[in-house]
Structure formats: structure tokens, C-alpha cells
């Protein structure tokens, strides 16, 4: 039987494949493979997606955190660019699977963890996504609160900060509830506006300070290479971890790509360049504030509060737009899909978005942002140790174990080849446990801290290589001949419907 059609590197279900899958309890309209018509996202859509996500308050603040730890401006910005170039590699590797087979992240995870085991990596990603969702809502809400106080008597309202936070949180949840296509449209128009606003801020910094300012000429606080490396490696891990979440669930977006070229070019051009440029703008603007106001102001809302009412209004709209474009796309899609995947026949993407928003409140984002040490070393460091091993398993499975051959129909069977034993792939579970446990042992073992400082990369290698070794002879693997027997290449003959192909 021909269950799937491969055309120009994109695999979709035939009518027969859809008919035998759509009654499965693992199937719904959000989790099914995309159709040929739904592969409509261009390179610009992916560039605008990343521009919208990268221009955000946490990215602006990341360079500030690194400078506060002793780096000079080019060390901070260079670390961020390097980290994003590194994380771009797993992003593109996992993007290939999403583009080729049109499946979202929870379904992709069924391949390596099993039809039930998929909840392990999906919920792990969901928890981190909810945490980031709360962080961005807190950033955005606090910024709006600051700007409202500068324009009005908002500061006299009892509980003004919690009110601003909850209102902004509700706006984020409402937009996310509308689904990925609404996110696509928002990113399309928001990206150029955010670029203009960011460059306008940079122009102000240059003109107001009469040059680049003292911070860009300030030397590094490190006197030896050893002192620098002690901060550099955990900082690099933090920079990688910043988008390691998207390295996992990027299939949620790339399942809509028109082609592999569209998603590769769009993402490669936009991610490292936007993160580097926006981080530099953060440093340059803070440097200018030293000249203009006598102190470094890292919070863009606190800076905008010093401007005219009209500039404050525009700045408020910019902060709202920047936070929305990041939060809704990067931090709520994966958790919503993971929650939906728990009961595909009962839960929708919208319900998942609401549950994610509520869980984000329970994670107390205000504590994570209490100081930069919590942000860079605690939050980013700990989840890098979890996501690195999962990334390693995903990449090893698709590229090394299965060699890019999947059976789409089997992904929606409760007793198919991707169900393994009782719905769980023990090889994936043991590989994940081995990678995470090893990293935490190194964290608490004197002399091995350097391994923890590079947790994401080391965990990826350990779990990925172990998984590859364990899965080489697994019964779920499909040979090239078996793949050809279920896949129609190039499309049906004119006038022939898919349900008649066998």
C-alpha cells in the first residue's frame, strides 16, 4: 500500500493513508501531518519569525547580564553570536524532519520515545516553555507598568504592577489561543516594525551620547584567560540554551515550509544576525545612558520613561509588540501542543494555550528574574542540562538511526512500530537518564565543573551517541526498500486519486 506521497522532498499522506489514520486516538486536526497546500511558509516567513522572536526584552538584557559579570561589549556580543551559531545547527537538523514529514514536535517525539513516551520530552519542553512564557509576560507587564506611571497617575492605583502583568498575560494567552496561522500573520507585519524601532533606538544612542559612549571603550574586568573562561563557558551555554527550546520544537513551525531551502535560508540569515545586532543595540544604548544620565540604564522601559509622552507611547507599543512576537511564537506553541497531545480527542490547541498560561503563573517568573545569577546560571544552565540530551536523541534518531525514513501512518497507531514496548522506547529513556545524571554528577564533583559549564553540548553528545549505539538494530527501523514500498514518489498520474494507489 502507498500510504504517503513524496514530492520535491516533502512527504504528505495519500487519501488512503489519511483514511486509515484519522480515526486513531492519537490523531486530531492539529497533530496530523500537514497537507501539500499547507506547506506555504516562505523564507521571509521564517526570517520574520526569528526577527520577531529575537527582538525581545530577555535578549536585550542578556548582554547586560554578561557585562555585569565582567565582560566588555565585544566579548558579550561575540559570546551571544557564537552561541546562536552553535544552536542554529540542531535547529536546522530538526527543521529538516518537520519540513519533510509535516509533523509537529509531540508527534516527532513519538518516533524516538514511543507513542506514550513522547510525553517525556514534550512535557519537559512544555515546562520550560511555560517558564519562558511567564518570564516574558513579567518583562512586558513590568515595562508597561513603568511606562504608564511615566505618562499618567497609574502609580497611585493599588496593585498597579500585578494588574499590568495580568493584563499583558491575558493578551498573550488570547493571541496564542487563535493558533499558528494568527502567529504567522502577526510576525509577518511585526518584523519590519521591530527592526525600525530597534535602529531608531540605536540612532538616538549615537546622537544623544555624541558617539559610542564610555561603555564600548571600557575594558574587560578579567585579568587572565582563566578568569575569562570561567565565565565564558557557562555564558556560552546560556546563550545556546536561550534558543535550545526552539531547537527541539522547531518542527511545529517548519512543518509548514514550502521547501527545505526556504526554512534553511530564512533561519540561517535571521537568527544569529538578529540576536547579535539586538544585543549590541542593548549595549550601545546602555552606554549612551551613562553619558546622558550619568548611569547605565539596562531596562528599556525605564529609559523610555525619560522621554516625551509621544515617544513613551510609541515605545510602549514597541515593547508590547516585541514581547508578543517572542512569547506567543517561541513559548506557548510547544507547551500547548504537548498538552493537546495528552488527549488529542479531548483537548485542542486553544485549551493547551490556556493551561500553559495558568501554569506559567505558578512558576513565579519574578523569582527567576530577581537577579542575573538566577537568570543565566540557574534558569538557563539547568534547563540546558535537560534539553541538550533530548536534542542529541532527536538528531541521532532522524539522521543516524533512521536515515530520514519515516512511516507516517505508524505514528498514529497505538500498537505500531513506534509504540515499542507498552508505548515507551526504553533506549531513549536510558539515553536521556544517562546524559542528565552524568551532567549533574559533574556539577557536584570537584574539578569537573567545566563539563557542567558546557552542559548542553556535552549532554547532546553523550545521549545522542548512546542512543545511536542502542538503536542500530531496532525493529522500528525502516529499510530503503520498505520506505519505497509505502511511499509514492513524484505524485499520482493525472486523473488518478490517491485512494486507488496501492
DSSP of 102-116: ---HHHHHHHHH-TT
pLDDT in tens, 102-143: 999 999 999 999 999 999 999 998 888 888 888 888 888 888
CATH of the domain at 164: 1.10.4160.10
Q: What is the pLDDT of residue 498?
A: 37
Q: What is the pLDDT of residue 45?
A: 93
Determine the pLDDT at residue 10: 97
pLDDT at 496: 40
Residue ranges making up the domain that contains 304: 4-500
Given this model, what pLDDT does residue 493 score? Answer: 39
- What per-residue confidence (pLDDT) applies to 427? 98
Q: How many domains does the chain have?
A: 1
Can you give the C-alpha Rg of the chain in angstroms?
Answer: 23
> Low-confidence residues of the chain, pLDDT below 70?
179-182, 215, 367-380, 491-502
Cα separation of 502 and 491, whole Å?
13
Whole-number Å distance between alpha carbons of 205 and 441: 46
Measured CA to CA, the distance from residue 69 to residue 216 in angstroms comes to: 15
For position 484, what pLDDT does the model report? 96
pTM above 0.95, yes or no: no
Task: Determine the length of the chain.
Answer: 502
Q: Which residues pair with 257 in a beta bridge?
A: 41
Instruction: Please tell me the distance from the alpha carbon of residue 129 to that of residue 1, in angstroms, as a whole number.
Output: 39
pLDDT in the model for residue 249: 92
DSSP string covering 289-338, please? Answer: HHHHHSS----HHHHHTTS-HHHHHHHHHHHHHHHHHHHHHHHTHHHHHH
Amino acid at each position: 500500500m502507498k500510504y504517503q506521497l513524496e514530492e520535491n522532498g516533502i512527504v504528505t499522506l495519500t487519501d488512503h493513508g489519511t483514511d486509515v489514520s484519522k480515526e486513531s486516538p492519537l490523531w486530531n486536526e492539529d497533530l496530523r501531518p500537514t497537507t501539500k497546500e499547507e506547506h506555504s511558509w516562505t523564507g521571509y516567513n521564517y526570517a520574520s519569525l526569528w526577527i520577531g522572536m529575537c527582538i525581545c526584552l530577555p535578549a536585550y538584557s542578556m548582554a547586560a547580564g554578561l557585562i555585569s559579570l565582567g565582560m566588555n561589549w565585544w566579548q558579550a556580543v561575540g559570546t551571544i553570536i557564537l552561541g546562536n551559531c552553535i544552536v542554529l545547527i540542531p535547529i536546522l537538523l530538526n527543521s529538516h524532519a518537520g519540513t519533510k514529514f509535516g509533523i509537529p514536535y509531540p508527534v516527532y517525539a513519538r518516533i524516538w520515545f514511543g507513542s506514550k513516551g513522547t510525553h517525556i520530552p514534550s512535557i519537559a519542553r512544555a515546562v520550560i516553555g511555560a517558564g519562558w512564557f511567564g518570564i516574558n509576560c513579567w518583562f512586558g507587564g513590568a515595562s508597561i507598568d513603568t511606562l504608564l506611571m511615566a505618562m499618567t497617575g497609574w502609580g497611585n492605583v493599588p496593585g498597579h504592577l500585578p494588574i499590568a502583568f495580568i493584563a499583558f498575560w491575558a493578551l498573550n494567552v488570547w493571541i496564542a489561543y487563535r493558533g499558528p496561522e494568527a502567529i504567522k500573520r502577526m510576525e509577518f507585519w511585526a518584523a519590519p516594525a521591530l527592526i525600525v524601532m530597534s535602529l531608531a533606538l540605536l540612532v538616538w544612542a549615537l546622537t544623544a551620547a555624541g558617539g559610542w559612549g564610555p561603555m564600548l571603550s571600557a575594558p574587560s574586568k578579567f585579568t587572565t584567560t582563566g578568569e575569562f573562561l570561567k565565565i565564558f563557558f557557562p555564558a556560552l551555554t546560556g546563550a545556546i540554551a536561550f534558543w535550545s527550546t526552539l531547537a527541539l520544537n522547531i518542527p511545529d513551525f517548519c512543518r509548514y515550509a514550502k521547501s527545505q531551502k526556504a526554512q534553511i535560508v530564512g533561519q540561517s540569515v535571521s537568527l544569529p544576525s538578529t540576536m547579535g545586532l539586538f544585543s549590541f543595540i542593548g549595549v550601545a544604548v546602555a552606554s549612551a545612558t551613562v553619558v546622558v544620565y550619568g548611569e547605565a540604564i539596562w531596562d528599556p522601559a525605564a529609559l523610555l520613561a525619560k522621554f516625551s509622552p509621544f515617544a513613551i507611547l510609541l515605545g510602549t507599543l514597541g515593547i508590547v509588540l516585541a514581547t508578543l512576537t517572542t512569547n506567543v511564537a517561541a513559548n506557548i506553541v510547544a507547551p500547548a501542543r504537548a498538552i493537546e497531545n495528552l488527549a488529542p480527542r479531548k483537548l485542542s490547541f486553544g485549551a493547551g494555550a490556556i493551561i500553559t498560561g495558568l501554569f506559567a503563573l505558578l512558576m513565579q517568573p519574578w523569582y527567576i528574574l530577581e537577579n542575573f545569577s538566577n537568570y543565566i546560571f540557574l534558569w538557563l544552565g539547568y534547563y540546558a542540562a535537560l534539553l541538550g540530551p533530548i536534542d542529541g536523541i532527536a538528531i541521532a534518531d532522524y539522521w543516524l538511526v533512521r536515515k530520514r525514513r519515516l512511516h507516517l501512518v505508524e505514528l498514529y497507531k497505538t500498537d505500531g512500530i513506534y509504540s515499542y514496548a507498552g508505548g515507551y522506547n526504553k533506549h531513549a529513556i536510558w539515553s536521556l537518564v544517562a546524559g542528565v545524571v552524568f551532567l549533574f554528577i559533574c556539577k557536584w564533583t570537584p574539578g569537573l565543573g567545566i563539563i557542567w559549564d558546557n552542559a548542553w553540548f556535552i549532554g547532546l553528545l553523550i545521549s545522542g551517541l548512546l542512543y545511536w549505539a542502542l538503536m542500530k538494530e531496532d525493529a522500528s527501523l525502516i529499510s530503503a526498500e520498505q520506505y519505497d514500498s509505502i511511499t509514492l514518489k513524484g505524485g499520482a498520474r493525472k486523473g488518478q486519486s490517491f485512494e486507488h494507489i496501492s
